[in-house]
Structure 1
Amino acid sequence: MKPLNKISMFLCFLVLTSCYESLDLNQLDDHVSKPVLTSSLTYFTLVSAQFFDSNGIQQNSISDSTQFKGFENSYIRDNLVKIDFNAEIKNEFDREVSLQVDFLNNSNNVVYSFTTILVEKEDLNFKFLEEIEIASHPTILNTTKVRISTSIENTGTQMNPNDTRELVFKSSVTLFIESSI
């Protein structure tokens, strides 16, 4: 017998007598995919001059809204279980700053309002986290806009509109998704 034939026969013997286990594809029915997505939400920098109107009168609050399209995707809407809202704030001002973050629907109605964020004067490394369980707050999925209102403490002394100190706000959302196959 030729050596090649011996090797072929040996390989055939191994293949035919090898152990095997039947595959249980039903295990996939129990599999849950849990992706986590993080995205920046909004970022802004304010200086003292932005708190003054065109007549030079100090305003103690500023508000602005931005579009939010994160929940337009049906996969996210149908499978989202939790949201983490993260903010990092640098307050160089000589007064306390409070920020109110609201999620709004198409009609500008508040669907979720975050705990007011209070940042002490000259706090350069403030961090904020709020966790939202979708099961407890399902209307948050109707969010189409984010409104942030920034208020400065009224100390009785007007700010200097030429002051170069800043308030820097950075935020992100982390989406926790669970979906079955």
Structure 2
Amino acid sequence: MSAPARRTDAVQNRTRIVEAARAALAESRHVHLNEIAKRAGVGQGTLYRNFPNREALLAEVYRRDVEELVSAASALLAEHEPVEALRHWLDRVIDYAEIKRGVLAALEPVAWQDLVAHSHNPIEGALAQLLDAGKAAGSLRTDVDAHGALLLIAYLGRLERGEWESTARPLMNVILDGLRRPDADR
């Protein structure tokens, strides 16, 4: 009977560690594992059992953010009209991009290139789902696909960290406005 409880504890510990790492990345690019263990309320041994090194932990933060971003597309479409779902999803992209920047800055180039390569198609697929719903509803342009929209969004990565807060959301609104059909009701 105690094995399932430990298993639940292990899953909860792993989740707390990832959440603590994500929070630390939002604050600084310099993430120290002992600080993350303290934030998560676990010992260093627990952290290292789950993540043998810093790179493994940061890669898991990145993967979880991608999974959440991708799964959010369907959930948002179930709750909102396509343009509003897209707006909420793009807000999540901004949050995701901020963490992505921290992860990529903290990882070696070979490691982050592999992560980005594996996340591109699922993210593009989620965006295509949102755009297709808007096109079908007549609210989004039909001449822009997910690949083109991602190219526009990717340029936000060129923003300096200091200008991110004040600039990313207004620019994302410009992208959203550009995706709307000019003749669609707003």
TM over 0.5: no
Q: Larger relative contact order (C-alpha < 8 A, sep ≥ 6)?
A: 1
Q: TM-score, normalised by structure 1?
A: 0.26
> Comparing both structures, which one devotes a greater share of its residues to strand?
1
Q: TM-score, normalised by structure 2?
A: 0.26
- Higher helix proportion: 2
